[in-house]
Amino acid sequence: MDLFWQSALWRHREAFWDGLVVTMQVTVIGYIGAILLGFALCMMSMYVRPLRWPSRFFIEFFRATPIYVQLLWVNYVWPKVIGWPNGFFEAGCTALAVQSAGYLAETFRAGIEGISRGQIEAAQAQGMSGPLIMRRIVLPQVVHTMAPSFMNQLLVVIKSSTLVSVIAVPDLMYQALRLTSIWFEPIEILSCTALIYLVIVSALSWAFKVYTDRIRAKYGLTRG
């Protein structure tokens, strides 16, 4: 056991590092895509009447279908129907984005609906346009008040990214499974992989809690 930890895992540290880099890339790209798509769906469902029902359908579809199904759907169906994505990496990022977009769209909607109507009317009385009100008044408050939900969804994306290994995206999980098939030592390799994810998620959770506590204290949202 000790010999394995000193040889196999250490000798293949580059494979683990390469997989971790891919995991971070997939997570960041997927999450940014989810924010942009989620915001667009939210705006269409709330303010664009002709697109209200189609956007609601996509939001519910993204939320109701498992990430594993969406991953296979994006990877195998989309290229035949729309000619995109063109690779496994793109498919993995896209699947993570569309799945989280449904949840983030609802997060945006809840945050926007939580803004008091008086603030909007006051801004309109000052002659501010709709887009300017959204950018200067609404969105800053939404980001602050809904920060915990946004951060929690990022953690969900990180954990969901393990499934991109199913379509041969060489992320951390893919590398772990590959090394396990070579060395036939699942306990050491998969335990190390689980530890890496534990450290990442725990560190981000702690950082998010500190940030959220500061935001709540700054804007008088603390209890008691």
3-state per-residue secondary structure call for 142-153: HHHHCHHHHHHH
Distances (CA, A) of 70 to 61, 63, 79, 101: 10, 10, 13, 12
3-state per-residue secondary structure call for 95-141: HHHHHHHHHHHHHHHHHHHCCCHHHHHHHHHCCCCHHHHHHHHHHHH
Whole-angstrom Cα distance, residue 63 to residue 66?
8
* Residue in this structure with the two tokens 């895509």, named with its chain if needed: 33
pLDDT of residue 123: 87
CATH no., domain 2-218: 1.10.3720.10
Give, as one character, the DSSP assignment of residue 162.
G
Handedness of CA 107, 113, 116, 122 (dihedral sign): positive
pLDDT of residue 223: 46
pLDDT of residue 7: 56
Residues 6+ apart with CB under 8 A from 58: 41, 102
Query: Residue ranges of the domains in the chain?
Result: 2-218
- Chain centroid, CA 124 distance in Å: 34
pLDDT along the chain (224 residues), means of 10: 56 89 97 96 94 95 93 95 94 96 95 88 87 87 84 94 95 94 85 91 90 72 47
**In this structure, are residues 77 and 141 in contact, taking their beta carbons and an 8 Å threshold?**
no
